[in-house]
């Protein structure tokens, strides 16, 4: 039996076998999550946010993940390389850093333009 994982803001859905990592599921959906440590819970670059109400759709926090995330874990943040999908899940991916920088610059420009 497969479970469905849905990624936002892209709205992409993919069916995976229970126990698949969120990182692997994102790759199967052809979505990019930045990593640097190869899934060893060391770089913290693969942080994703679980939609409220879907926390139980992922494996419980491992002690290593809880230690790495600290208080972020209470806000629904998980490490995509460590969290395993065990039920229908809705996950929010972070904005690409380059896109975020461009968007921030455009917003600054808009604010400056509105002063004139």
Residue number, 79 or 89, with CB nearest to ligand FES: 79
Length of the chain: 116
41 binds ligand FES (CB under 6 A): yes
Instruction: Output the DSSP codes for 93-108.
Output: PPPPHHHHHHHHHHHH
Region near ligand FES per CB under 6 A, out of 1-9, 37-45, 49-57, 89-97: 37-45
For residues 7 and 107, what is the distance between their CA atoms, to the nearest angstrom? 25
Structure tokens at 62: 């491992």
29 binds ligand FES (CB under 6 A): no
Structure tokens at 52: 């409220």
46 binds ligand FES (CB under 6 A): yes
> Which positions touch ligand FES (CB under 6 A)?
35-37, 39, 41-46, 79, 81
């Amino acid at each position: 039996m497969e479970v469905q994982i849905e990624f936002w803001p892209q709205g992409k859905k993919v069916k995976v076998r229970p126990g698949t990592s969120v990182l692997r599921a994102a790759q199967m959906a052809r979505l990019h999550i930045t990593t640097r440590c190869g899934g060893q819970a060391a770089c913290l670059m693969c942080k994703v946010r679980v939609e409220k109400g879907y926390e139980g759709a992922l494996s419980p926090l491992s002690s290593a993940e809880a230690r790495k995330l600290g208080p972020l874990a209470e806000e629904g943040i998980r490490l995509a390389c460590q969290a395993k999908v065990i039920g229908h899940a809705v996950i929010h991916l972070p904005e690409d850093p380059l896109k975020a920088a461009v968007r921030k610059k455009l917003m600054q420009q808009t604010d400056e333009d509105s002063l004139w």
